[in-house]
Amino acid sequence: MDFDFSPEQRAFEQEVIRFLDEHDDPDVFDLTRENMAQIVDTPKRRAFMREVGERGWLGLTWPKEYGGAEGEGVYEYLLNEQLAARGGPQIGKGVGIIGKTLIKEASELLKQEFLPKILRNDVEFAVGYSEPNAGSDAASMRLKAERGERDGRPGWILNGQKTWTTSAHFAEWYWLGTRTDPGNKHMGITLMLVPLDQPGVTIKGIWTMGDERTNEVFIEDVFVPDEYVVGEVNHGFQYISQALDLERFTLFTFSPMKQRLDLLIDYVNTAVRDGMPLRADPVVRQRIAQLVTDAEVARVLGLKVVAASMKGEKVPGTPPPTVESSKYKLFATEFSRRLASASVDIGGPGAQLRVRTKTAPMEGRAESTYRYTVIDTIGGGSSEIQKNVIARRGLGLPKNF
């Protein structure tokens, strides 16, 4: 496999870098938010992503009939990595998870309503899969959807609760998994699009150990017309599974991990401890060497996902690279957690000072990444879930009851 980029791909990357240089703004780019920097949660971030959309970069891989460029997935990868390297908002959720699912599965009505808005970044979505008793096991969701009607319109009456919905407090629409057949775990889930600003939807904030807001969402007698069902009734788990393959890759970019590794290496190169250069410590040298090796493994695993996706784009009906995505997500997020632990250990007691503390080693980044990276091993399916995917789909092992 060729892991280098073509001259055309490098030229596009340089174009993105110039664009980001021209739009540099601390209110848009914040590396200290770690992986949560990707969400489009402020007016300035939203305006910035509209400019990205105006350049045609939000539909790089979409079909031309829906406003896309039908480009290769590697261009989307290069764009997202450069955005992530600055701590900026990214294209993952609306363009990838939701947009690509709508293109593949939704009615023309939903495509016409939402796809143009996504390309212009005129809409934000929250993703509602997790529930108090259904986290990484999305097939266990129980939010009830029952047949009903309102004002003569047939549809569904929803009741239940979701949790860990990160964007619910600023998004307009809920990409919601519902239980339409209680008797069938995997073939009893239906995806629906639900406006969040309506009676019956209550949003309560939860603050994570990474100083970021996520939410509990309570749904009480909320009506969803049939036309806002995504794809076929009771086929939602299939759509969610395919979208999670995209999420596991696009939402956990490599650039921030490499940036934190470089920061640690710079610190080791200049720090002195007990009168000796820290870089001379053999234990520290061994640990840094292992982290650099792991970083290269993570980078190449990510490129393998890109390569598999591009190969599938050429063959209609090819499923997403499930195993490749799980391998990358598992290794990269666990590597990121090990890197955070090493930064705290090597930085010493001062590494426990809060982020942006000028006198702290690495200005406190070690402390913040130590908290944030725990979350990354859970979001998009925990590490245990990824191991099960690899074991069953990659190695052919039987399901563990």
* Ordered per-residue pLDDT tens for the chain, 401 residues: 556 889 999 999 999 999 999 999 999 999 988 888 889 999 999 999 999 999 999 999 999 999 999 988 899 999 999 999 999 999 878 898 899 999 999 999 999 999 999 999 999 999 999 999 877 678 889 999 999 999 999 999 999 999 999 999 999 999 999 999 999 999 999 999 999 999 999 999 999 888 889 999 999 999 999 999 999 999 999 998 887 766 666 678 999 999 999 999 999 999 999 999 999 999 999 999 999 999 999 999 999 988 887 776 555 556 668 889 899 999 999 999 999 999 999 999 999 999 999 999 999 999 999 998 988 888 878 889 889 989 988 999 987 65
Whether the CB-CB separation of 162 and 128 falls below 8 Å is answered with yes
Enclosing H/E stretch for 158:
strand 153-163
Q: Which of 191, 267, 273, 263 shows the shortest CA–CA distance to 232?
A: 191
Question: What sign results for the dihedral spanned by CA atoms 93, 95, 101, 102?
Answer: positive
- List the domains of the chain with CATH numbers: 7-90 (1.10.540.10), 127-234 (2.40.110.10), 252-394 (1.20.140.10)
Contact between 127 and 92 under an 8 Å Cβ cutoff? The reply is no
Side chain identity, residue 104: K
Which residue pairs, CB below 8 angstroms and at least 24 apart, start in 143-149?
143/176, 143/177, 143/178, 143/179, 143/219, 144/178, 144/179, 144/182, 145/178, 145/179, 145/180, 145/190, 145/192, 145/224, 148/223
Whether 244 contacts 236, CB under 8 Å? no
DSSP state of 227: G
Query: How far, in Å, CA of 232 to CA of 230, rounded?
Result: 7
Amino acid at 66: Y
Q: Cα torsion at 302, 308, 314, 317 (round to 10°)? A: -110
Region of residue 256 (phi > 0: left; psi between -120 and 50: alpha; otherwise: beta)? alpha
How many Å from the N-terminal Cα to the C-terminal Cα in the chain?
Answer: 37
- In the three-class reduction of DSSP (H, G, I as helix; E, B as strand; rest coil), residue 329 is classed as helix
SS3 of residue 167 by DSSP: coil
